[in-house]
Every structure is written in C-alpha cells, then in structure tokens.
Structure 1
C-alpha cells in the first residue's frame, strides 16, 4: 500500500514534461546521488530511468494517448475484465473486484497491460474475420454474375460480328453514294460558277437594255462585268481544239448587251452635254468622267456626243461674250466692256482678258472631262503638249468652242486699231495683242483657229503701226528749219525721239524676261531702223538745204548734235547696240570732217594759211624766201599775227565748237585741229631753216615772235602732246 500511495502521488504520465530548469535540478541531484552512493540497487536504477525519460517524443505521446483511450473509464475496464474472467481461468472474480476499486485502476492497468492489449487484438481480429467472411460471400455472388455476363458477351460478340459484316456492305454502298453526291455537287457548283461568271443576271440585263436613260454607278458596274465576261470568254476561244460553242455564244450574247449599254451611255452623255449652257463653274461628275472613258472605246459614239458638247459650248461662249460686251455681269457688275470703247488699250485688253479667262476655264473643264492630270507648271510658263488621244480631243473641242467668238473679236479689234492716229497707242495695242497671243497659244496651241485670228489682228496692228511710223517719217523729211534756227536738234526731231522713247518703253514692258539678246534685238529691229534712219535722213537733208540757204550756217555741228541726241536716246538699251555702234561710227566720221574744217578755219585765223600754201605749192627751184608770203618781211608779219592768235582765248576753246552738245567731242576736235596747226608751223620752220631757201639768219626770222621757232613751246602753249591723237 505504501508503494501504491507513493506512485499515485507523482504526476500522471500524460501530463506535460517538466521544465528545463527542473530537469537540470534532477540531473544535479542524480549526480550528487551517484557520487554519494557507492552501491547501486535495481530501484535506484529504475528510478533514475523513469526520471530521465523525455515525454516530448511524438511516438511516446501517441503511445500514451492510446493507453489512455484503452482505460478511458472504469466501466469499460470492468466490462472487459468480466468478459475476460468469464472466458479464462478462475480467479477472475478477484481481478474484477480489484479493477472496480477506483483508487487502484492505474495500478491494475499497469499490471494487466499485456493481457488487455492481447484481448483488444483478439477482438479486432474477430471483427476482421467477420468482415472478410461477408466479403467472401459477396465475391462468390459476383463471380457467378461475371460468369453469366461472360456467356452473354460471347453470345453478343457473335451477333455483333454478323452485324458488322452486314453493315460493311451498307457502308460501302453509302460511301459510293456519298462520292457520287460530292461529284454531282462539284459539277453543280462549277455550272453555277460558270453561269455567274459568264452571264448577266436579269436585273443587270434590264439595267443595260432599259429604255430609261438614267446612268448610275450600278450601270457602270454592269458594264464592267459584261466587258470582263467578254474578255474571259475569249480564253475559251483560244483552246487547242479551236473556238468552243459556249465561248462563241457567250461573246455574241454579251456583246449585244454591251453595245446596248454603249448606246445608252452615248444618249445620256448627249443629254448631259446639252445642260452645259451656262458660263458658270463647269463641274464634271465622276459618272460623266467614267462615261466618256467608256465611250473612248467607241470613237464614233464619242464623236457624236462631243459634237453636241462643241455646239453647246460654242453657242454658250458666244452669248456670254456678247453679254459681257453689251450687258456686263449680273446686276451690271462688272460693267459692260464696250463702255470703255473710248480707251482703246483698256477696251482691247478687257476683251482679250475675257477670252483668256474663258480659255483657261474651258481647258480645265475638258481636262477634267477626259481625266487628264494637269502638269505642274508655273503660271505663264510654256505648256508642253503631249502627243496623246486625249490632247487631240481637247484641242479640237477648244478650237470648235471658240470658233464663233473669232469674228466679233476680230471686227472690234480692227475697228479700234484703224481708228487710231497715234503710233504709240497703235503700238501698245499691237504689243498687247502679241502678249495675249503668246499667252493663249500656251493653252490652245499655235494651230488653233483663235491663235490664227490673234496672229492676223496682231499683224494688222503692227501694219497700221508701221504705216503710222512711215507717215511720221515722211512728215519728218519735209521739215524746214526757220531762219533763226541754231545748230541744236530741231523740235521735230525732239518730238520724233520722244515718240521713240515711249515706243521703247512699251516694248521693254512687253518682254517676258526669258528672251535672248538676239530675240530682243530682232523684235525691235524694224522699228529702230525705220525711226532712226528717218531721223538721220531728215537731219542730213535739212543740213544740206540749210547750208545752201546760209553758207555761214554750221552744218557739221548741227549733224553732230542731232546724232548725239539719237545716241543718248538709244544708248541705255542693250537691244539697240547695233544701231548705237552705227551712230558712233557716223559721229566719228562727221567728227573727222569737222576737225579738218576746223583746222582750215583756225589756220586762217592764225595767219599761217598763206605761208603753208606757199610751202605746199612749191614746184620750182626758186628759194622760198623769194616767193610771196614766205618772203622775210611777209613771213615776219604772218608770224606776228600767229603770235597774237596764240595769245587769244581761241587757243583754249573755239567759239564754234562751243555749240557742240558733246563737250568731250568738241575738245577732241579742237585738239586734233591744234595738232594739225602745230604740224603746219613745224613745216614752215623746217622750210625756213633749209639752206636752199636762202633765209639770212633764219633763227632770227623765226625768233621774232612766239613761239620763237620752238615746236615744244608751241605745244605747251596750245596744250597738245607730241604724237598723241
């Protein structure tokens, strides 16, 4: 009993393990006990083993929980004990008695643990055997059922084999029927596709054959389909076996339908072209553009339709032009062109501007109609006409559209030109015509009828202009200078050159800027030759007539002043360079004549004319000192007169040359005359110094007056260099 109470006082085995600190104390006590007790007995060993046991191991904890379930309550334990006692040896009553005692359950459980475990195992085994017995009985029934099913499966397998043999023939027959159906479907699809590709539907046929002239996008889709059918059908005609019957029939039927479509397009175009009767924005619809594109495949139909368009546009442009001349725009704005008939330049310019604008608009309309892309070019640049069928149609239609416009334009321009008396106005009109003619030709071409009309009236304007110039030249030739006229250019020449200046200004203003020098020179050559030559001829005839009337009148100075005036007018213009050179050559030749005449005048004024004449006319062997003005006394008198002349202002500037407008030319003429005078004085001095002329003290004779026989001194006095021209 003492041992039982001691064990029951310990913590139960399923409680939590002692803490680490308590275990450390136990180990220390154990070490002390081991050290103090020399002898070891079984109790101490067992005690030490129990104390050293670690209950943290999961396996130990699981075993203890199993044992706890085994002895969960005392009733269960007593029941098991009674069952055990009833089936085992005697003495069970004592064990039951002991187990029912509540305070001794744990002790008895420790004592009877093996037996209780065996009893538990035996009970479990009996339960397994009972369950297996039931499974075995079920397996026997299942085996019988499987055997029955196997017999049935064998019977069904035989039936299935016979059925498979019968179905195989049915499947083979069905496969053949399926293949035949596929072949029929393929043929049906091919036939349907052929019909769709090579024939028109009823609606499409009605679209082409309908008497309704309306044309829309659906109509052109049908036309494209019919044309494609014909093109594809031609492939059927190119086989190795020759043309097929189907191809011939398809082409024949579809061609008839397509021709009906072409006729419908032609009628629709003619109807639409008749609507273009106003000079508003001529918009070309995509349907119209495509219709013309289709008709280009039938030139005869397109020609008929375009004839309607040409007649419509011809009448429209004529009526619009006449309205612009007489009525003006809507509401009188812009004002009628003929209201400016008193101003010829504006009148002609307004008419040509209207025509030019109409040409540009008509060109854009026709380019849009034939779907021609306009070339990228700057305004006013030359249009390059490409050789194409579209360009031929456009030029032909434009030529016809402006056909009736040519007559009223020609009539009014001619009346304006012929009514002018001023050559400047006529020339301005002629240049305006030339400008618009060049500009319009870049749009309608040089061969157009309107271009020919503009060429005719331009030539006529220039003809009137030149007639006016010739009349002015004839009037210029009849010029008579008054008695008090000096050597300056006459008023008639000044008026004539003023007209020439204005004509040159008009000409330079009409240039486009891309002309070469030869083109500019040739463009004004006829005007320049006529006006300048008439001026020179007038000056020469007047100078000759004036010289006869007044011998003292200075003809050369008058001519040089007139030529210089013409040169001043022409020199700023590069295209007149050839005429400027001719005038300069004429001036040079006239200047040489004037220099020679001026020398003759000053040598007489200087008193050396008689002496030089004697020197030049000597033919005999008689010494010069015995001949006329070269005698010593006469010579001294002439040399004295020469010295007095050298002291006069005439040496620096001649009063006669002061009337020349070109002072540089006057200085050059005077210097040339002075050089000739110096040469004459030198010749006199040389002759005096010659021994054969028998002058006593020749140096004394020459040294009696300036320049004392020194040629260098003479040149210094006159201011001329030696040997310079």
Structure 2
C-alpha cells in the first residue's frame, strides 16, 4: 500500500472576500504587509478582457499539468519538470517538496505537484518570452538568407538576357536599313493590285446588274425554252435593270451612252419576252375549248398577270378565250338538253318538259352552275382568291380592274346561252294556264335573275334576258289571276242557307294558300325585304295578295246582296263567315300581316252590325225596350212613374219578363247566332256577350231611374228585389256571364277560346259554372239578405230561414247553369 505525505493546506476560507471581516482599526494585522498584499490580491477583479487575454496567452505558454500518474521504475533517472532546465538554480529542490528515501520513491506513483507550473511561470516568464523571440528571429534570418541567394542568381540571368536583346536589336536595325527600298517597292505593288481587283469587282457587278447572262437571254428569246420560272426571273431582272438605270440617269451626270444603250437593249429583250408569253397564251386558250370544266394552272395565272402590263396583247388573247368558251358552253348546254351527261346520267333536260317547273328550274340551274364554274375559272385565271363567307350569305359586289375584266368575259362567255334558254322558257311560260305553276315559274326566274345580276352585273346580256323572261312570267301570272278573278265574278249566286263560305271562295283561298306556301319557302322573301326586286310591283307580296283577295271580297259582297230575305243580319253573318275563312289562310304567314289586319277591320264592321241587331232582339225579348225608350225620350223634369208603360204595376211586369228572360238565357251562345257559331264560335260568343253587356247596361239604367227619388216610385227596393237580379249589379253580371263595367263583379267568360269550344269534354256553360258558382253563392246570398233586411220586405223563400234561402238560391243557380 502506497503512502503519501500530506502537504499542509492553507485555509483560504478565511481569506475570501465574502467571509473576511475588515479588521478593526486597533488590529495589528492592518499594519502587516503580507496581510495587506493578500487582501489586495483577493480583492482584485480578473474579469476584464485584457486580463483574460493575458491569462489565455499564459495558458498557451504554460499548458495545464497532466493529471495522469506514472509509476517510477527503480532505475529511472530523476524526473525533471518543465522549466527546470531553464532555471538558474536547477540543483535546488522545491522547498515545499518532501524528500523521501530513494527506496520509497521508486515505489511511489510520481505525479505533478500542485502549484509548480505557476511558480515556474512567475520565475521564468521574461526569460521564456525572450527565448521564444530569439528563436523566431533566428528562423527569419535563415529563411531570408535563402531568398537572398535566389535573387543573386536571378540578377545574373537578367543581365545575360539584356545583353542578348541588345545584340538582336542591333542586327534588326542593320537589316531594316538594308531592306528599306525593297519594302517600299512591295508596298506600292500591293496598292496597285488592290486597286485593280476593286475595279475588276466593280465591272463584274455592273455587268451582272445591268446585263443578262447567256442562260437568261436564251430563256427569253428562244422558242425551245417554254415559259416558266427561269423566264419569269429573267423578265423580273430586266424590269429591275430598267428601273435602276432610270435612277442612275437622273443623277448629276445625266444621261450617258451606256445608260441609253442599256435601256434600248433591255426594252427589246423585254418586248420579246411579252411576245413569247402572248403566243403561248393564245395556244393555251385555244386548248381550253375542249372541256367545259377546266382548271387553271399557276403558270397560266402568272402569264396572264404579266400580260396585264400589255393590255393590247392581253385583250387579244382574252378575245380568243371568250370565243372558245362561248362555243364550248353552248355545245355543253345543248348536250345537256338533248343527250344528258356521260353514259346518259344525268338524263336529258328535255325529258322533263312535261313538268314546267322542273324543266325551267333544270335549265336555270344548269346555267347558274355553268356561270359559277366560269366565275371560278376566271378567278383562278386572274389570281383572285375566293373570299370566305357564310353559307347562304350574299356575295358582295367588288370593284377593280380584275373584276371588270371578269364581268366582261363572263358576259361574253354566257352570251350564246341566252337564245336557246329564252326560246324554251317563253314557250313554257305561255303554255301555262294554272296560276300556281305560273307563279312558281315566275318566282324561279326572279330568283335566278337576282343571282345573275349580282354575279355578272345588271347590264350583262344574260341578266337582261332573265329580266325580260321574269317580266313575261309575271305578266302571264297576273293575267291568269285576273282571269280567275273575272271567273269568280262572272257566275254569282245567292249565299246558301247555312251562310257558310261558298265553294268558289274555298277553292280560290286554297289556290292563294299554295301560292303563299311557294313564296314562303322560296328565297325571294328575304330578297324582297332587302329591296333586290324587279320593280315596285314586285317589292313584296302585296301585289299578288291584292290581285287575288280583292276579287274574292267583291264576290262575297255581291253574293251577300243577292240574298234579299235575310237583310243586314244574314248579310253580316255571311260576310263574317267569308272574311274569317279567308283570314284563317292569311294568319299563318308573317308577310300577310297588313292584309290580315285589313280583314280584321272589315270583320269588326260587320260584327258591330250584328251586335246592334242582336242587342235590339234581346232587348225586345227581355221586355226592357219600351221602358228604355221612355227613359231616353222623357222630359228630365217629368217623373218616370207617371209615363204610360212605366207605372209600378207595369214595371213589375217588365221585371217579371226580364226574370223570365234570364231564366232561359244561355250566357255563351244564342240560337240566332247558330249560323255564325257553326263557322266562327269565337266571334259568335263575342257578339253574344257584347249584346248581353248592353242589355245589362239598359237594366242598370232602369234600376238607376227607379231608385231615383225624382221618378216617385213607391218602395223601389221592393219592386226591384221581387225579381231577379234583384237590382244588384254583381248578380246581374254573374247571371249574364259577361264583364260589365263594375270592378268587383264576377265574370262568366271562358278562360280561353279552346275551353269555350272544346267538344266532347265540357261545354262553355260548364266552364262558366265551375268558374263562378261557388263564389256567386257565397257573395250574393249575403248581399241579398242584407238588402232585403234593410228594406223590411224579404221574399217568401228568404223569410223562412237563411238555410232554406241558401238552398233555394243554389237550386236556382243549378237550373240556370
């Protein structure tokens, strides 16, 4: 077991700043220097940065003591600590160390003694720092010694290089002096060569710019080279040469012989090129006559475009083209009429001559197709791109030189088609007797006439021919209508007993309907709205309507006047039946609105006549006629009850008669209107209800006069309340089933026309009952009971009990409905 010698420890607890107490003034320790030093050291502050930096430098110089222990060997020499070799007293041992025998030390674990490093640092700090500075200076001297040696070697090399460069400079100066003449001569020759090359390039560029190469000249003048891109490029170059030459000749130098020669030679060459294009164009145009449908190659379009700079040459070529196309299209049209297409399909147009509309339509369609193909061919020939437009949209007319050329050529190409077309169409038109077929043909001709005008112009021969044919067709059509109108007025007979529309009117109206269907299904309706018509008579369909409707109306008037026994009543019914029948045909088309409104006015006139007549009849049936006359004719100051036929008893008889009239009244129809109702139930209902309204107004006038005190009736409420409608306006309008003039009455009018005339389901009376019965029973029982209670004279069926009165009133309404 190893033993250690304990080193006495200094008790520092008593020396710490927190535990020490300041000595009293009388203490002798205050005068002790050691105590003062200790207090000063303990009171010092080591937290400032400079102190900490000094301590860190000391730690680097004197690293911490190792905490490891090592066991000393018996024969190990004496261990020396760091700094012992530098100490001046290396033989002196640490005064604090405890010396042990050698036997004991060999067996102890040797470790650092606390505090030895700090002691050495205090003793040898200056010496250690100076030693380290000396070692660093020594190292710097050694390093700079090597650098100095290298610099000496470098200086030797630079001196050798400098001497060699000076020798080379001397030799170059000598050589330059000896070759100076040769260099000047070579520079002069080089400048001459550059000038010569520049002139050569300028001459080559001039010749290339203002002359044609052999290949280009051959492309323009040789017959063996056909027109093509090579020739076009050569002609473009000639145009460019002439333009550039004009620019140069307008400069300061003015005209030169070279410029004039260039203009002369290029003019001849360019003229040869146009002549070559002209000859090629004539040859190609003559070849186009072999087929009616041809396609234009881009080469031909380009040739025509270039020939437009020579209008005389182009006009000659186009004349040849027009003559060729005339013959070609005429032969194709005649072949389509007689032989048909290849292999017989499509079939010849002449085979459909028995069908006039198809025959004329096929011929016009062929001409239109040929015109469209010719237009497409000429557009391609002149390089006009087709304008994109909506299907069915109108082609907008264009202007320009190309358009004028095209219209002239199309007019010439289609000129020979006019003669066979006119002959066949005129024969077909004049052979027609029916107005429908005549109108279809006229409608067809007018449509194609408008199309041709927009394509080839109004002054074209084909447009003038179609205009003439259209005028002939409409003349024949209106002559046919006039003859038909005269036939309607030639054989007249009185209206039949049923006063329905006569058979002749129905036949004529059916013809009118077919004509209107033809007009509505054609494209002329839109054309007429746009103003593209033949003349003012054909701007719309009104001319045709007038030519057909006016004779029908005149026939109906004459037939009505021939029936003498019916008077105004049957005349008005007959006219309304005829007018409404004719109006039914016109109402299905939007372009007959004006004419239909005129018929509405005529119907209203005759309807007012029927209303007056029916009102007079119903006024007599109701018993109110005489008293109504008395009211209108009496003196305002004379009492009504004093007039004959208007006394209290006579008024009771009148009210009884009116009650009977109401009991048998049908609020929807009347037997007198049966002839009108069979054809026009709506009109009959309107007339009947208008008459009932006027009858109701007469009754209310009578009630007003009876209740007026100036007429001196005794118990007017009792007189009026004894019979229906008890002097009540709301009851009156409900019983009559009309609207009246009061704002709080109930009406018995059907909801719709279809409800009023619906067969097999409910009659109009049933509709009125379902609409008003329950409200009638609820409101009028209370109104009647209140009215009679105030007067003190209730009727017999209301005096018994309210429930009985309600039941009686309900039974009365059920009988009525």
Asked if TM exceeds 0.5, the reply is: yes
- The 2-side partners of 1:713 and 1:202 are apart by 117
Structure 2: which 5+ runs fail to align? Answer: 1-174, 533-537, 744-817
- The 2-side partners of 1:429 and 1:416 are apart by 9
- SS of equivalent to 2:422: helix
Are residue 500 (structure 1) and residue 512 (structure 2) matched?
yes
Shift of 1:292: 1.1
Shift of 1:239: 2.1
| Corresponding position of 2:266 | 254
- SS of equivalent to 2:416: coil
- The 1-side partners of 2:348 and 2:509 are apart by 37
What does the per-residue CA deviation read over 1:149-204, in whole Å, with 9 as the maximum and x for residues that have no partner?
xxxxxxxxxxxxxx999999788778766765665565455445433432345665
Shift of 1:277: 0.7
| Corresponding position of 1:49 | none
Q: Which moved more, 1:304-313 or 1:422-431?
A: 422-431
Q: 1:361 aligns with which of 373, 384, 392?
A: 373
Structure 1: which 5+ runs fail to align? Answer: 1-162
Shift of 1:273: 0.9
Q: 1:673 to 1:204 in 2, by over 3 A?
A: closer
Q: 1:679 to 1:514 in 2, by over 3 A?
A: closer
- SS of equivalent to 1:487: coil
Q: 1:701 to 1:390 in 2, by over 3 A?
A: closer
Q: 1:464 to 1:628 in 2, by over 3 A?
A: farther
Q: 2:574 aligns with which of 524, 543, 558?
A: 558
- The 1-side partners of 2:572 and 2:493 are apart by 16
Residues 492 and 555 in structure 2, CA contact (< 8 A), matched pair in contact too: no
Shift of 1:510: 1.3
| Corresponding position of 2:393 | 381
| Corresponding position of 2:326 | 314
Q: 1:599 aligns with which of 615, 621, 624?
A: 615
- SS of equivalent to 1:276: helix
| Corresponding position of 2:69 | none
- The 1-side partners of 2:702 and 2:195 are apart by 140
Residues 380 and 439 in structure 1, CA contact (< 8 A), matched pair in contact too: no
Q: 2:345 aligns with which of 327, 333, 354?
A: 333
- The 2-side partners of 1:629 and 1:164 are apart by 163
Q: 1:212 to 1:702 in 2, by over 3 A?
A: same
Are residue 723 (structure 1) and residue 735 (structure 2) matched?
no
| Corresponding position of 2:625 | 609
| Corresponding position of 2:442 | 430
CA RMSD of aligned residues (A): 4.0
Shift of 1:618: 4.5
Residues 305 and 382 in structure 2, CA contact (< 8 A), matched pair in contact too: yes
Shift of 1:280: 4.2
Are residue 462 (structure 1) and residue 477 (structure 2) matched?
no
Q: Which moved more, 1:380-389 or 1:264-273?
A: 380-389
- The 2-side partners of 1:328 and 1:167 are apart by 102
- The 2-side partners of 1:366 and 1:282 are apart by 10
What does the per-residue CA deviation read over 1:656-709, in whole Å, with 9 as the maximum and x for residues that have no partner?
223223323322221222232234445556667778878788888878866677
Q: Which moved more, 1:454-463 or 1:340-349?
A: 454-463
| Corresponding position of 2:688 | 670
Residues paired across the two proteins, number: 564
Q: Which moved more, 1:415-424 or 1:606-615?
A: 606-615
Q: 1:183 to 1:515 in 2, by over 3 A?
A: same
Are residue 527 (structure 1) and residue 539 (structure 2) matched?
no
Residues 481 and 490 in structure 1, CA contact (< 8 A), matched pair in contact too: no
Q: Which moved more, 1:511-520 or 1:659-668?
A: 511-520
Q: 1:545 aligns with which of 562, 567, 576?
A: 562
The structure with more radius of gyration: 1
- The 2-side partners of 1:542 and 1:618 are apart by 43
Q: 1:390 aligns with which of 387, 402, 421?
A: 402
| Corresponding position of 2:161 | none
- The 2-side partners of 1:663 and 1:638 are apart by 32
Which residues of 2 match residues 37-76 of structure 1 at below 5 A?
none
Residues 569 and 609 in structure 2, CA contact (< 8 A), matched pair in contact too: no
Are residue 583 (structure 1) and residue 595 (structure 2) matched?
no
Which residues of 2 match residues 394-405 of structure 1 at below 5 A?
394-405=406-417
| Corresponding position of 2:810 | none
| Corresponding position of 2:749 | none
Q: 1:447 to 1:517 in 2, by over 3 A?
A: closer
Shift of 1:533: 3.8
| Corresponding position of 1:110 | none
**Whose helix proportion is higher, 1 or 2?**
1
TM-score w.r.t. structure 1 length? 0.68
TM-score w.r.t. structure 2 length? 0.61
| Corresponding position of 2:132 | none
Residues 236 and 244 in structure 1, CA contact (< 8 A), matched pair in contact too: no
